[in-house]
Structure 1
Amino acid sequence: MSLEKVLNQIKDIAEGVVREEAVAVDREAWWPEKSMRTFQREGLGGFVVPKESGGLGQGLYGLAQACETIGQESASTGLCFGMHCVGSAMIAAKATSHQKEHFLERIAAGEHLTTLALSEPGTGAHFYYPQTQLLSVSENEFLLNGKKTFVTNGGKADSYVISTMGVDPEAAQYEFSCVVVESDAQGLEWGPEWKGLGMRGNSSRSLALKDVKVPAANLLGEHGDQVWYVFQVVAPYFLTAMSGTYLGVAQAALNEAREHLMQRTYSHSGISLSQNQLLQHRLGTLWAKVERTRRLIYHACQQYDSGDAMAVLGIISAKAEVATCVVEVVNEAMTLTGGIAYRESSRLEVLLRDARAAHIMAPTTDILYTWLGRALLEQPILDS
């Protein structure tokens, strides 16, 4: 299918089942089971899986638009779908014939859900310095020990792309590895259900790995080449998924503000808020802020899809810029909407809580701007 047809399909699902369960997803902190299974059933699980493995073969431009569309209805669902796509892209990047058959074809068929497990409690936002240990017990098997945090789709996915220290004890910090661990592996211990301030439905749980046996065939790429994955796969796909989702939140807030100004009329004067020049100016400013952020995101994604080596700079800045955009837009939309927006469980209250996570989701905004500055000054992006 063309990207247009795929996005129309996603829009139909987003405005249907995603919207229907969005309130419960936030209020009850439910993982969006119905929405995620609908995406899989409708052939969208393989959104970024290469066509030769049965997928739709979409790139970052499509991913940004898909996550924006879903994020307008439910930020949690947008992130859950996006992280599945990031995990799929990680597996696909250097997939072996075994990995294509065992993972990618099943993902494309809607039979397998995956995600990332990179963050750890000791390294904070520096997810690219894993401390989880990978021990080679034979040429056919590894042993994993460690702990992961903030695993989106935690306890719900069929597999987890997990970062580990290098097998070689002398390996440098940046020479880490990634393996795919299936959900039925022995030794996986999940932490409590996620009860966040916002993004309440993404099942962002902690995971303890205790002597988990993993087939050597589940190693992604070569030992120690994960810096390539960080900047060629994780950074672009992960940052795009988050950027698209938060762009959707900003657009939803803008829509709420516009609708309120269009519908609200003072009873004592009969004058509509839409006729107020100051409010017209402030709404116009919000629209411009959302639109310029959208254009940055989409342009960077199109650059990446076309093979432009400099596209990663745009991708990095896009996530940092959308974080500021979404927080400012939701705050201003709440001001424009007035007291009615301040009631418990209002649409803007949910968007406000979801938006605030944009700055602190790793890589944080500060880290991204530092990466950008280092790259521009021709310095190593990661800490020395």
Structure 2
Amino acid sequence: MTAAAGYAPAVETVADVAAEHAREADENAAFPTEALAAMRRTGLLGLLVPAAEGGAGGTLPDLVDVTLTLGRVDMSVAMVFAMHCQQVAAITAYGGEKLRAEVLPAVARGERYLGSVTTEAGKGGHLMTAESALEHDGEMLRIDRQAPIVTGGPYSDAFLITTRAPGADSAAQVDLVYADRDQVEIEVTGGWRPLGMRATHSVPMRLRGAVPQWQVVGEHGGFREIATTVFAPLAHVGWAAAWIGAAAGAYGRVLRHARSEAGRRQFAPSSELVLLRLAGIRARLDAAHALLRHTVSVVTDAPDMSAAPVQLLLNTLKIRVAEESFAAAHELVELAGLRHGYLTDSPLTLERTFRDLRSASLNYANDRLRLANGALSLRDPGVRLA
């Protein structure tokens, strides 16, 4: 880590707590409240808050490092953390002075865990459009927003909500609005019974309330710029780090088991077949990790985040890491066999990693990004590789 080097003990503490409660959280589809409490207590929620506002002043590489570490023990915790940081980065980059002063120091103190409300029925997680309208109510802006998925919504202290701008004549005129929990009435409208990622507790919710004008992040109708420069890049980078971390953690557990006395009897580590399979899985992880680090370096230095080569790379990162991480988990299950690859009571917990990573290609669908990349490719006949 760089500017956030002092947070290494905090990361270790949160990872230990997450590991201790991971199985129970998965079995009960329960939000990782203990891990969140540790993030609050250690100040890790403030990783990306600028130092001037009391945070760690962390960078995108710091976010990747922390998310990779958390992903090794619990992918749900890693995703919760990365998505919170995405919200913090948006306020830091586009929030007005009053909003930044109100929110960022509180995040740094561990008092605000930020939830994201971007999904809508009919459009899924598509960021660039909104159906629900934000309406003027005197000097206030009235929100009435339903979302089929809100990660950690019942446990969030505040939300960033996408909604159609007041008076908008197009679904593409989208606002991003900050709302404290006490400014909105929250109704959980359904349950959360997924195959994997169970501890994210991503329930459907309805949020109704009103906020003052200064809680709009950026300009009215200007969410496209926020999505291009902050939301989409941090989503793809943060998700990729969580996925690679989860696959690497599973790979490490298999290696440690293979080197144990019991594992040597099962795996025969000198077997050429075992060695070939281990090499193939490691190659997937190294390639995915190299793509992640390269993408982070490009995003950090890019003068124009909307440029086709940058957007193509970001989408490719999401697609390839989703595929490679899940393929690695699948191959680990095959290698470990029925007892340690498939059964839920194995200490290697490969089946949980397998279930969690199956969501990766569906979390903003890979096919949607492939279609986008096809259109972006036509805008770049010079094939400028980022």
TM-score, normalised by the number of residues in structure 2: 0.91
Supply the AA of the counterpart residue of 2:270. Answer: Q
State the partner residue of 1:373. 374
Task: Please report how far the alpha carbon of residue 183 of structure 1 lies from its aligned counterpart in structure 2 after TM superposition.
Answer: 1.1
Seen in structure 2, the aligned counterparts of structure 1 residues 274 and 227 have a Cα distance that, compared at 3 Å, is same
Aligned to 1:87: 87
Equivalent position of 1:223 in the other structure? 220
Alignment of 1:53-92 (within 5 A): 53-92=53-92
CA, structure 1 residues 59+5, in 2 after alignment: closer, same or farther (shift >3 Å)? Answer: closer
- Choose from 295, 300, 305 the match for 2:290: 295
Q: Distance in 2 between matches of 1:8 and 1:325?
A: 28
Query: What aligned pairs does 1:145-224 form with structure 2 within 5 A after superposition?
Result: 145-170=144-169, 172-210=170-208, 212-224=209-221
Cα distance 1:58–1:103, how it changes in 2: closer, same or farther (>3 A)? same
1:151-170 Cα offsets, whole Å, 9 max, x none, are: 11111111110000121232
Find the residue that maps to 2:155 and give its secondary structure. coil
Secondary structure in structure 1 of the residue aligned to 2:167: coil
Secondary structure of residue in 2 paired with 1:206: strand
Partner of 1:334: 333
User: 1:207: Cα distance to partner?
Assistant: 1.4
Equivalent residue letter for 2:152: N
Correspondence for 2:45: 45
In structure 2, stretches of 5+ residues that fail to align are 381-386
Quick one: distance in 1 between partners of 2:263 and 2:7?
A: 40
* Alpha-carbon distance, 1:128 to partner: 2.6
In the TM superposition, residue 316 of structure 1 has moved relative to its aligned partner by: 2.0
Q: Which moved more, 1:280-289 or 1:40-49?
A: 40-49
Residues 271, 25 of structure 1: alpha-carbon distance in 2 compared, 3 angstrom cutoff: closer
Question: 2: CA distance between counterparts of 1:10 and 1:316?
Answer: 31
Secondary structure in structure 2 of the residue aligned to 1:133: coil
Q: Aligned in 2, Cα 1:373/1:52: closer, same or farther, shift over 3 Å? A: farther
> Structure 2 counterpart of 1:181, which letter?
A
Distance 1:288 1:245 in 2: 18
Aligned equivalents of 1:58 and 1:367: distance in 2? Answer: 31
Kindly tell me the number of residue pairs found equivalent between the two proteins. 373
Change (3 A) 1:147 1:66: same
Contact 1:132 1:165 in 2 (8 A): yes
> C-alpha displacement at 1:184, in angstroms?
1.5
What secondary structure does 2:153 align onto? coil
SS of match in other structure, 1:187: strand
Q: Which residue of 2 aligns with 1:382?
A: none
- Alpha-carbon offset, residue 281 of structure 1: 1.0
* Matched ranges for 1:248-287 at <5 A: 248-263=245-260, 273-287=268-282
- Say which SS state the counterpart of residue 205 (structure 2) adopts: strand
| Counterparts of 2:49 and 2:269, CA distance in 1 | 46
Aligned position for 2:322: 323
Shift of 1:348: 0.6
Shift of 1:257: 2.9
TM-score by length of 1: 0.91
1:9 is paired with a residue whose SS is helix
Q: Following the alignment from structure 2 to structure 1, what is the Cα–Cα distance between the partners of residues 370 and 3?
A: 31
After TM superposition, the structure 1 stretch with the greater mean CA deviation from structure 2, 305-314 or 275-284, is 305-314
Residue equivalent to 1:247? 244
Aligned mates of 1:244, 1:291 — CA distance in 2: 12
Residues 129 and 173 in structure 2, CA contact (< 8 A), matched pair in contact too = no
Alignment of 1:106-145 (within 5 A): 106-138=106-138, 140-145=139-144
Alpha-carbon separation, structure 2, partners of 1:162 and 1:271: 51
Task: Decide whether the 8 Å contact of 2:30 with 2:199 is kept in 1.
Answer: yes
- Kindly state the Cα deviation for residue 271 of structure 1 after the two structures are TM-superposed: 9.0
**Are residues 9 and 376 of structure 1, via their aligned partners in 2, closer, same or farther at CA, if it must alter by over 3 Å?**
farther
Q: What's the C-alpha RMSD, in Å, of the aligned pairs? A: 2.1
Is the 1:301–1:311 contact (alpha carbons within 8 Å) kept by the matching residues of 2?
Answer: no
Offset, 1:266: 8.9
Q: 1:272 to 1:132 in 2, by over 3 A?
A: closer
Instruction: Give the secondary structure class of the aligned counterpart of 1:131.
Output: coil
Unpaired runs of 5+ residues, structure 1, are 380-384
Cα 1:266/1:148, change in 2 over 3 Å: closer
- Percent identity, please: 24
Q: Which residue of 1 aligns with 2:30?
A: 30
Q: 1:152 to 1:266 in 2, by over 3 A?
A: closer
> In structure 2, how many angstroms separate the alpha carbons of the residues matched to 1:273 and 1:126?
48
Superposed displacement of residue 312, structure 1: 3.9
**Distance change (3 Å), C-alpha of 1:106 and 1:21:** same
User: Which shifted more, 337-346 or 156-165?
Assistant: 337-346
